[in-house]
Structures are given as structure tokens and as C-alpha cells.
Structure 1
Amino acid sequence: MKSDVPVRYSIKKTDKETLLKWYHLITLGRTLDDRAPNYLKQAVGWSYHAPAAGHDGIQLAIGQVFRRNKDHLFPYYRDLQTCVSAGMTAEEIILNGISKDADVAGGGRHMSNHFAKPAWNIHNVSSCTGNHTLHAAGVGRALKTYGENDAVVISSQGESSVSEGYVYEAINGASREQLPVVFVFQDNGYGISVPKQDQTANRKVARNFESLKNLRVIYCNGKDVFDSINAMTEAVTWAMENQKPVIVQANCVRIHSHSNSDRHELYRDDNELSYVKEYDPVEKYKRLLLRYQRATESELTEIDERVKEEVKEAHRKAMAAPAPSPDSIFDYVLPPAYVSNKYPDGVHHQEGDKVKFIQALNEALKAEFRHNPDTYLWGQDVANKDKGGIFNVSKGMQQEFGKTRVFNGPIAEDYILGTANGMSRYNRNMRIVVEGAEFADYFWPAMEQFVETTHEYWRTKGQYSPNITVRLASGGYIGGGLYHSQNIEGALMTFPGVRIVYPSFADDGAGLIRTAMRSEGMTVFMEPKALYNAPKAATVVPDDFEVPFGKARIRRSGTDLTIITYGNTTHMCLEVAEQLQQEGKASVEVIDLRSLVPLDKEAIRTSLSKTSRALVVHEDKVFGGFGGEVAAMIGDEMFELLDAPVRRVGSTFTPVGFNRILEAAILPGNDRIYQAAVQLIHY
């Protein structure tokens, strides 16, 4: 599939002004690259540095074809020369390297050598190598959705990171959706110390993708400035004109070690080390300029001296710049949430006909899609004729809002969430809802992207907010067994940067999905699927109902015992509380948390000030479950209110069995809750 790339630039045809500009950029990039290790030696910073030397040709080319505030660029950790070529200054590069507060990528919050300038659409990319290919595909989808046909997305990475499964998902998805994304593989032959033959069967990893439909593959010499710029120019032009993806595989050399923590002399012999130095792209470009008399020695020397002064001045300013303040660590963990003025406590007193949980969710989703035209929904099996997801929560949405706004995703959970991360970068007004997996238990393949998305807002110092609602049908009591009955909120809540809600009733479901979709940031919306059609979860639902984050709801008042719960077990706790009341044994207060992160501590404190006894009940396992955190918080912050130990009820520390007898033995039920409540009352 190798194409003959039109020769647009050559040493003879390119004008002198452009040639000298390129020499300035390539020299500036190399000077900064060579200088970086000195900062570590002087204990100033730049403790991670992946040298760009040997990749200079292709990186100069990437930066030159990129148009700031028009295209989108996802550089990887070795792309110093790319970012210099794209217009970032020496000072900005050094500020990132030594992690100063003025670092435009994120104020020193991210590892050095991860260059970015979000204000220009040079995206902040994480250390999880290659995962930004998914984000690039998501931005490409946004460009296509909004008809921006004169822009492209460029995603850059090393050839070994292509071994990651999500890279295949991204390129396959971009091919299927026909997205204008240029994927650049900078092939230097090594993944740290692992040679290429241990990574892939094909000598050129791009050949693994040649059979994909709608995809063009271009090979070039990444050590050569002209071949690289011709290839990148052709790739960008073809991607825009055809609205399809392109792979550019650039053959490079790695002149130095993988990074400053690597010693390449331990796995590369002297012949290889001499060979790679002979193919230095900067020296080759300089020789061409002189050989073809496109520049004189004095002209190049003048540029060299100017670069030295430029770097010296940038160093002086960067060293004088302030470091991040330790007080800033809590800034930008989460963006501001939507504030409800009409329902500040998330409580209503409206009367009327009750609707089931599933209907409340469906109608709230549709209302929010009408409210904000920049709202999108995708996931597995969510948009097939009259069916809307395996549980029909999104039924009728594609018919009303069209295939552009509501569509099916592949069975690739990482791709579903990763492209949501990417697409939401296009427009801050955009709101994306994804069915992260058909069952919450299947969400694990998306965990890499979940973790990535939780720290985007913090890592970029508030420059990017992933405005995503992740819907997950959660819990058991349906006879589903493994992968169909687990609870995963205990694992998800350990990551800062995400809100987690878990309603028990139809009105709270509608109110919380509305708040999630109107807020900035990511929210995981856990849906107790056993309650979708349960009459006990049906309520009156006001059309405009909103439930704030971090506001629990007192479902039943009491004076002798506080039960703190959420999800499926809320209804069991209410039944147990009623039974204890009828038996004359206790007056039980039931707190439906609704929102796990953030947690309504004040509601718990107020209740315990009356009852002095706390029972935490949830469906998840007792060991490692969310209740452990609630119990620890009570013991730490409210110990003086207690007259008894905090008790917990939940699942056994086993998987959830498929047979109904096994499921009943594992999941908590009324009897287990009742026994724990009685013991606590009589303590």
C-alpha cells in the first residue's frame, strides 16, 4: 500500500527562507534536547528526559504541517522537536522540563518531557504510552460531526507502543468511522531495550494495518527532513480531502538511550552506536545546505549563535519562574458541578402518577438531549431500531435525535470511553453520555481510559475537562452470576477526579442524570438494574427535577439507629426499618446516600447526633467495599457521637454465583440486615 508521495519539497526547490527557518528550528530543538540532562545533573529538574535526537526529520515535519488552533496535535514524550517545530518557545520547553508553575502544559503537574500547549490544540498527553490514539480518534469524530473538513488530527508515538491493544482499537475505529486522523509511528527500532523483532512479526509495524479498509499507509525516511515533510504534507492533505485516516511510518534512529534512566550501551554494541550517530538528521541537513550551496557556513554559524542566546535567555527566565505552590494540590481535582436553584436539597413534594426507574432515566436523557444540542450518546447495543441497550434505557433516542448523536459503539470498552475523552475536547459545551459497558462488570477493559480521564482536569491545570457521564448497569439480584451481578463502585471510588452516584428511586435517577449531564467533569452513574422495572423504585418524577451531588436523602426518620445505604439495599433497609418499628424494637433512620463521591457527611453527622448508632449497608463486598470508607470516616470524624461500634453489612468475599441459591447466600438480604440492626440496637 506504499504510495508515491509527491515531491513538494527538496533541497533544490525549497526557498532559502524556509530552509533557514527549518535549520533554526532543528538546531533549537537539538540544543534543548542536548541540554536537558544537565538540569538533572544539577538537581534542578527534568528527571525524565527521552531524547529526540535521531527523530529530528519526522518531528520537524509534524510540527510544520500542524496549524495551531486549527488542527489537533497529540505528541508523545519524545516529541520535543515536534513541539519546537510547532511553535513552542525554548522557555516553554524548559519550564516543562523543570516543572515550573508557568509550564503551559499543566504547571508542573505532569512528568517532565510531556510537552503540550492546550491553548493551541497541542494536547496534554499522559505517560500511558499510545493511549492518546483513542483521544485522537475522538477529536477526529468531532471534526467530522461538526463539518470541519479542513482540519486534521495528528497522533504521534513510537513503533513499540503500537503493541498496545487500544492502539489497534483506535486505528480500527478511525478506519471504520472514516476519521481524518494521521497516526505517526516514529520507528527507532527499540521499545526501551526491547528490539522491534520482539514486538511485532512485521519489520515495519504499519504493515499490520495495511488490510484495514479506508486507511492509507505512507512510509518515509524519518531521518530526512525533505522525505518527512513530503510524507506528512501528503498525509495531511489526503486525510482532509478524503476524510479518512492515514498512517505515516517514519524510519528513525535513536542516537541516545531511551531515557535518562536507561543505559543503551548494555544492549547495543559499538557498531550500532557508531551507525546511529552517522545518520544524525541534524548533521545530514546541515551537510545538504552546504553541499547544494543553499546556505553558507557563516549563515549557519549565525543561526547557531542566535540559538545559543535564545536558549540562554530562556534558561534564565525559566530558572527565575516560581515553582508550584503546595497549597495548589487541591485545585482542579474536579470542575464545578451544576447547581440546582429550584431543588437545592434534591427533594420534591410533587404528586401524580408514579413512573418506573427505567422510564424516568429514558425521559430524563431525552429531555437533556433536547436541552443541549451538543449532547451525544454511544455504547454497545444502544441504538438498534426499537431497542435501546440491553435494558432499553436509551429506547427511542436514535429515532428522535438521529444517528449522529446516538449510535452504537464497538465491543471495545476502552474505545468507547477513550473516544469520549477525545471528542469532548472539541467543545467545552459538549456533553457525552456513554454506556461504558452493557453490565458494570464488563467495564474493566476501559479502566485504563477511566484512570486516564480522572486526572485530565488536574493534570492540565483546568485547561481540559472531560465532560462525560458514564452509565453502568450495576448490581445483582437478577440471577446473572459472574460479569452480570458484580458491584465495582468500591474500586472506582479510589480514584480522585470523578463523581460517583448510585440512586435507588426513579426520581433520584432522573435528577442525578440531569445534574451529571449539566455538570463539567466525569460522573459515573451506577444504575441498579434490578430496580429498572421494580414497582418499589417507581416514584413521581417532576419534569425538571434535579439532585445535587453530595446530598443524601432521608428516606425514613428515626431515633434509635441510623442505617446508611444506597442502591438495591436501600429498599431492603426500609423494609427492615418498618419491621423493627412494627415489632416495637427500634425507630430506625434510613439515609439513602445517592451520591458516593462526593459524600454527604453532614447528613450522617446530623443523624448520628440523634441515634448514636450506625449500620452501613450496601450490596458490594464488605471487605474492600465503599462501606469501609464510610465506617472509617465515622470513626475518625464522629466518634464522639457513637454509643456502639459501626457495623457493616454487604456481600461475602466471594464472586457472585449464578445459581439463585448461591446468589442469595452471597448477596445481602433482609435477614442479614435485620440481624445486624438488632445486634447493634442491643449493644
Structure 2
Amino acid sequence: MKKFTIKTTDKDTLQRWFYLMTLGRAIDNKAPAYLLQSLGWSYHAPYAGHDGIQLAMGEVFVKGEDFMFPYYRDMLAVLAAGMTAEEIILNGISKATDVAGGGRHMSNHFAKPEWNIENVSSATGSHDLHAVGVARAMVYYKHKGVAYTSHGEASTSEGYVYEAINGASTEQLPVIFVIQDNGYGISVPKHEQTANRKVADNFVGFKNLKIIHCNGKDVFDSMNAMTAAREYAISTSNPVIVQANCVRMGSHSNSDKQTLYRDEDELAYVKEADPLLKFRRMLLRYKRFTEEELKQIEADAKKELSQANKKAIAAPDPDPSTIFDFVTPEPYHPQKYVDGTHNETGEPKNLVTAINETLKAEFRLNPNTFLWGQDIANKEKGGVFNVSKGMQPEFGEGRVFNAPIAEDYIMGTANGMSRFRKDIRIVVEGAEFADYFWPAIDQYVECTHEYWRTNGQFSPNITVRLAAGGYIGGGLYHSQNLEGALTTLPGARIVYPSFADDAAGLLRTSLRSEGFTLFFEPKALYNAVESSTVVPDDFEVPFGKARIRRDGSDITIITYGNTTHLCLDAAERLAKDGNYSIEVIDLRSLIPLDKETIAESVKKTGKVLVVHEDKVFSGFGAEIAASIGTELYRYLDAPVQRVGSTFTPVGFNPILEKAILPNTDRIYAAAKELLEF
């Protein structure tokens, strides 16, 4: 491997490095002026003091081969990787032509997805998981390249950073974790973050992991470290940590005041350690450049900044009418079963069989489909409920495999792997029971706003399967419901089937669509006779299309999941006991919601009962009731009523569970009272 030194590096390369460092620092210094002029850049995290390692990151990055996940301080890294000063300023002042996301994401979040310089979250460190996921795809598809992910030393305290490094070393993936250690997590000094002086030492026990230390202030040491890291990662398909010792010359950001926690001696020291000035002095001392030559380079950089500034200021601002663009991608539209219904006859299949057979059919159709989760791929075993039974023997360990007990890792690497190519489709069992999904919520949030945040440039093509709900005597962490919370986040399609054919059809549509889908599976119905149906081959169900399970004219019952069957039972009893005509709507899809079918039914019956398994208080039914009350109030003959769980967790003892969850008797009583209103 070639070693870079001041004496052996050619003059053209040294000139390029000095130009990039000078231009980057000029932009970094100018950024606060935009805020003072009310032009934008309201968040700015200066990189000064990180110059060496960031220059090296960008220089080593190979466009077309590598992926880069920069953090909010990586201005020089992306500049050295090829982004222009104009592109960086467009991001800083949030213009419509910002290549990172059209002004939709926070300033100082530099990206160019077209080049695989990825648009990452403000939750620093969470993108480590995405880097691991895309590296997994590189290995699977035998692609030569590495994934770089970068952040400060304080971020290593985050659980998902540990999960990413653990996973990359376990799976032996070519990921380079760049830790830019400037000694502070905002105002918190490193010794309050971790016991080790060098945070990379926290990971010395990881097998297959190489750790390289370098002086992140020094251009040559950083270049040698990053070059060695890339060569090692590619040649061995193993991860590397590059810990770069840096200094933070300015405050953490423009909302921070470092004089409140750093004394004058320390501030004087970091000023003296300025990497740009040190590099400039070195070029003169070793007579590689004259003072006049360096001044000309500085003048050229200043000129480029001036021109970039003028163009960026003149660029258009985002159009407020576009806020609803790119919330979710256009889905696959069913071709044969346009409305998601059928009249075919044959042998009924239970819900778990329908899901299993659909997974297998879609895996055969698209060889770029993958499945992982906890305990889902041990030869013939397919999870606690055997939903993925037989998948690994047929499709192999490269496509169907077990993940660590780390829900964040499961979700985050799915996000990352789906970045590698657009035809990849990923199915994850987000947790063996939906209740255990909460540790993955930050990555769920990432998935929901990736498409919007990148201005339509990237959407994770992921279907998250969650075995949800009660009626199994499972108690805490085995019987709760999540949809009331998760439907508040735009960007995910959320479906909740009640019958085998709908489960098959919605799963197929999800796997043929671009975008992110949350697929709830009512586990109490997996093997239930009442949810078993005939499932036509290649059955499809469109998103946002409810199914009328029972026609009626006296009252509308709106439901989904486990309670669909309870509502049908109650409707049958009401018909027998009082000759009432009950309409039961099975929503199937919560987002998008079929408001048209709901409206037609409400106009016909004038009375509405919303029933779901989740808690009544703040449950998804509250949104349905509010929408009807706001948009259809003139057609109502009575207030909208709701039935659901009590505002408590679901207990373990069957006596407690029965008291908490809705049942046929409670639905019957609520409907009868409403009918008699």
C-alpha cells in the first residue's frame, strides 16, 4: 500500500487537497452569515478541527462503488467526495434544488443520493445500521465496494451503534465506521460518556473487526488510515473502525456556546491545533509551494465560493403546494382482483398457511426478495407461529436468515439493504410478538420519512410483519396492540387483515409495491376456523379498499383484525334477536383508509359503531369517529360510538384478559343501545 507523506505525494494531489480544505473552511466560516441575514442555515455544526479525517474520507470514497453515510458535521468529507460548493450551500439554505432533499431535511445534512452519498437522520449514529445493511447487499451481490458511516465519539454510546458493529463483525461485512473524536458530545466531555479514553477500545473484543487509530487533524495520517481501512475491508470483507483524534475548534453548533464549559487555555490550544494552518505551514516548510502559489489557490477557492453563493441565493425556494408529494410511493395496483374480492370455491386455508404460501410464491417470482427476523430460519422451523416454515430450505441462507435479538438491527439493516437496488424487496419479522417491536421504533420512524425527506429519491421497500393482538392468554409483551400509536406517523402503509384471503392478497400487493408497509397479523386467528377461506392463486388486495362483510341498513359497524369476527357474531345475534339489519365493514387497510366505503355506508344507515381490539382511548377508532363526526355529521342519526379495550395493559390471567379485551357481548350491547337511540 502506498504511504502518503509530504515528500512523496505529487504536487497536483497536494494542490487539490489544499484547495478542498480551503474551500471547505471558507464555506464553514460563511455558514453563520446566512442565518444572520435570515437566509437560512439555521442549524450549522462546524467541522473545523476535523479537516484531516474528513478530507481522507472523501478522497478514498469511490463513486459508483462505495456508499457514504455522512453525519451533520461532514461538510469537507462530502466536498472531497465530489459535491460542489453550490450543492452544499443549497442544502444549507434549504433551497428547492438542494440535491439532498429539496429543502425538506435539516441544514447541514449533506447528501447526494444519486452518488450513494446518503441522506441520513438527525438521530446521529442511527445510520450505522443502514451502512451495515447496504454492505450486506454488497456481499450478497458480489459487489466491490465499502460502506462508510461517520459520527462523533459520543454517538458510540447509542445502542444502535453497538448493534451495527456487532452485526457487521458477525456477518463479516465491509463497513468502515469512522469515529471522529473531538472529546465532546455537545457539552458533555468524553469521560462522562465512556470509561475508555479511546472509545474504539470499547470494541476490542469483537472478532473480525480491525481497529485503526489516526490523527484526524493530520492529512497524511488520515489518508494512510482510510486507505488501509478500505483495502482491508475489501480484501477481507470485514469491518473496520477508524478512530480519528480531532479537535472541535468551534461550538458544537450555532445553538451552543462553548465558552460556558471550555476554559480559555483549552480554546487557545484547539486554535493552535488548526489542521488547515498546520497543512499550509507544512507545504511552505517543505518547499512544495510558494506563498504566492498558496495565495492564488486561496483566491481561486474564494472565487468559487462567491460564484456558488450567487447561484444558490438565486435558486428557487420550495413550493408549499408540494408538501403532500412523496409521502408514500405509488403502490402496485392489482390487475385481476381489482377490488380485492373473489367468488372462487375450493378448500379453505387458514391464515398462517395463506401467508406462508404467499411468501413462497413471491420469493419465487422475485429473486431479489429477502426475509429475516428472530428465530424464523432454522431449517423447517419458521418462528414461534411457523409462518416462515420451509422458507430457508427452499430459498437458502442468503435470502432467509436469522437476525440477532436486536429489533433496531433488524429494521435498520433492512433500510440499508433496500438502498442497494430498487428491485430489492425485504420482509422482516420486526419482533416475534408485536409488543417487542418498541426498541425498533426509531428505525421505524426513519423508514416512514425516508421517501419524503429525500424528495422522492429513496424509499425503503420493506414489509414489516408483526404478530399482534390478544385473545391468546399472552399478557404483557404478548397481547398488546400498536396501531393506535403507529398510525400517527405518515409514510407507512398499514394493513390489518382478518381473513386468510385478505392476508394473502395484501401481502402480495405489498411485496410488489415500492414503499414501506406495516403488516399486522392477528395471531389469535393464525389457525382459527373462522378466519380460514379459499385463497385464489395470485390473489391481490389493493391498499385502501375496505370489504363489506355483511350488508345492512340499520347500523354500520366498522372494524378490523380480531374484532371483525366478534362483530359478525354480534350482527348475527342482533339479526336473530331483533330483526336488525347490520352492515359490517372490515377495513383491511388502515392507511390508506377507505373513506369512500365508510361514507356510503354512513349515508345509508345513519348510525355508526367503531370496534377494534386496541384501547378506546386514543385508539385508531378515535380517528375514524372524529372523521365521520367532522365530514359526515349531517348524515348521522346518533353520535358515533366506540368499543375497544379498557385503558389498561392486557393482563395475563384469562379472567383479566376477558375483562379487558372487547367481546361479542359488549359489541352486541353497544350496537343494540345505538340502534335504539
TM-score by shorter chain over 0.5: yes
Which residue, 35, 39, 51 being the options, matches 2:34? 39
Q: How far apart, in 2, do the equivalents of 1:72 and 1:129 lie?
A: 17
| Secondary structure, aligned partner of 2:88 | helix
Long gaps (5+) in structure 1: 1-5
CA contact (8 A) 1:409 1:416 kept: yes
Show the 5 A alignment for 1:488-507.
Answer: 488-507=482-501
| Secondary structure, aligned partner of 2:151 | strand
Q: How far apart, in 2, do the equivalents of 1:604 and 1:262 lie?
A: 51
Show the 5 A alignment for 1:200-599.
Answer: 200-599=194-593
Say whether 1:100 aligns with 2:83: no
| Secondary structure, aligned partner of 2:295 | helix
Q: How far apart, in 2, do the equivalents of 1:456 and 1:385 lie?
A: 34
Which residue, 170, 174, 183 being the options, matches 1:176? 170
Q: How far apart, in 2, do the equivalents of 1:343 and 1:639 lie?
A: 33
| Secondary structure, aligned partner of 1:388 | coil
Q: How far apart, in 1, do the equivalents of 2:457 and 2:308 lie?
A: 24
**How far did 1:334 drift?**
0.4
Say whether 1:114 aligns with 2:109: yes
**How far did 1:401 drift?**
0.3
**Deviation per residue, 1:307-356 (Å, 9 max, x gap):** 11100000000000000000010000000111012111100111111011
Q: How far apart, in 2, do the equivalents of 1:409 and 1:496 lie?
A: 27
Q: How far apart, in 2, do the equivalents of 1:155 and 1:179 lie?
A: 13
Q: How far apart, in 1, do the equivalents of 2:453 and 2:403 lie?
A: 28
The code of the aligned residue for 2:661 comes to L
**Deviation per residue, 1:558-615 (Å, 9 max, x gap):** 0101000000000010011111111134100000000000000010111111110000
Aligned residues: 677
4+ residue runs of structure 1 moved beyond 4 angstroms?
none
- What is aligned with 1:670? 664
The code of the aligned residue for 1:478 comes to I
The code of the aligned residue for 2:582 comes to V
**Deviation per residue, 1:374-393 (Å, 9 max, x gap):** 00000000001211011000
**Deviation per residue, 1:220-263 (Å, 9 max, x gap):** 00000000000000000000000000000000000000000000
**Deviation per residue, 1:48-100 (Å, 9 max, x gap):** 00000000000000000001121000000000010111111010010000000
Q: How far apart, in 2, do the equivalents of 1:627 and 1:41 lie?
A: 47
Q: How far apart, in 2, do the equivalents of 1:371 and 1:494 lie?
A: 33
Q: How far apart, in 2, do the equivalents of 1:421 and 1:537 lie?
A: 32
Say whether 1:58 aligns with 2:37: no
Q: How far apart, in 2, do the equivalents of 1:640 and 1:347 lie?
A: 31
| Secondary structure, aligned partner of 2:284 | helix
Q: How far apart, in 2, do the equivalents of 1:385 and 1:246 lie?
A: 32
- What is aligned with 1:3? none
Q: How far apart, in 2, do the equivalents of 1:27 and 1:344 lie?
A: 60
**Deviation per residue, 1:96-153 (Å, 9 max, x gap):** 00000000000000000000000000000110010000000000100001011x2101
TM-score, normalised via structure 2 length: 1.00
Long gaps (5+) in structure 2: none
Q: How far apart, in 2, do the equivalents of 1:303 and 1:421 lie?
A: 42
Q: Give the aligned CA root-mean-square deviation in angstroms.
A: 0.6
CA contact (8 A) 2:284 2:291 kept: yes
Q: How far apart, in 2, do the equivalents of 1:624 and 1:344 lie?
A: 33
The code of the aligned residue for 2:157 comes to S
Q: How far apart, in 2, do the equivalents of 1:187 and 1:28 lie?
A: 23
**Deviation per residue, 1:353-375 (Å, 9 max, x gap):** 10111100000000000010000
Which residue, 90, 103, 107 being the options, matches 2:85? 90
CA contact (8 A) 1:69 1:119 kept: no
TM-score, normalised via structure 1 length: 0.99
Q: How far apart, in 1, do the equivalents of 2:568 and 2:177 lie?
A: 55
| Secondary structure, aligned partner of 2:642 | strand
The code of the aligned residue for 2:584 comes to V
Q: How far apart, in 2, do the equivalents of 1:24 and 1:125 lie?
A: 27
The code of the aligned residue for 2:129 comes to L
- What is aligned with 2:611? 617
**Deviation per residue, 1:24-45 (Å, 9 max, x gap):** 1111100100110000111110
**Deviation per residue, 1:145-204 (Å, 9 max, x gap):** 1011x2101101000011000000000000000000000000000000000000000000
Provide the identity percentage: 68
CA contact (8 A) 1:436 1:470 kept: yes
**How far did 1:7 drift?**
6.0
Q: How far apart, in 2, do the equivalents of 1:527 and 1:274 lie?
A: 60
Q: How far apart, in 1, do the equivalents of 2:447 and 2:380 lie?
A: 32
**Deviation per residue, 1:514-561 (Å, 9 max, x gap):** 011111111000000000000110000001100000000000000101
The code of the aligned residue for 1:626 comes to F
- What is aligned with 1:125? 120
| Secondary structure, aligned partner of 1:330 | coil
| Secondary structure, aligned partner of 2:498 | coil
Q: How far apart, in 1, do the equivalents of 2:277 and 2:598 lie?
A: 69
CA contact (8 A) 1:651 1:667 kept: yes
Q: How far apart, in 2, do the equivalents of 1:67 and 1:143 lie?
A: 14
Q: How far apart, in 2, do the equivalents of 1:587 and 1:677 lie?
A: 11
Say whether 1:646 aligns with 2:656: no
| Secondary structure, aligned partner of 1:426 | coil
**Deviation per residue, 1:463-514 (Å, 9 max, x gap):** 0010000000000000000000001001110000001000000000000000
CA contact (8 A) 2:137 2:420 kept: yes
Q: How far apart, in 1, do the equivalents of 2:49 and 2:2 lie?
A: 23
